[in-house]
Structure 1
Amino acid sequence: MSGRINFVLTVFLVACALSLVNAQYQSRRLFIELERAQAAARQLDIDWAQLQLDQSTLGKHARIEDNARRDLKMAAVTPARTQYLTQGTK
Structure 2
Amino acid sequence: MNAKLNIVLTLALVGCALSVVNARYQARHLLIELERLQQHARQLDIDWSQLQLDQSTLGKNERIEQIARTSLNMAPLTPARTQYLTEGAK
Structure 2, gaps ≥5 residues long? none
Moved over 6 A (4+): none
Alignment partners' CA distance in 1, 2:6 and 2:49: 64
Structure 1, gaps ≥5 residues long? none
CA 1:7–1:79 in 2, change beyond 3 Å: closer, same or farther? same
Alignment partners' CA distance in 2, 1:32 and 1:86: 72
Q: Which residue number in structure 2 is paired with residue 58 of structure 1? A: 58
How many residue pairs get matched? 88
CA 1:85–1:15 in 2, change beyond 3 Å: closer, same or farther? closer
Deviations 1:40-86 (A, max 9, x none): 11111111100000000010000000000011001123344445667
When normalised by structure 2's length, the TM-score is 0.87
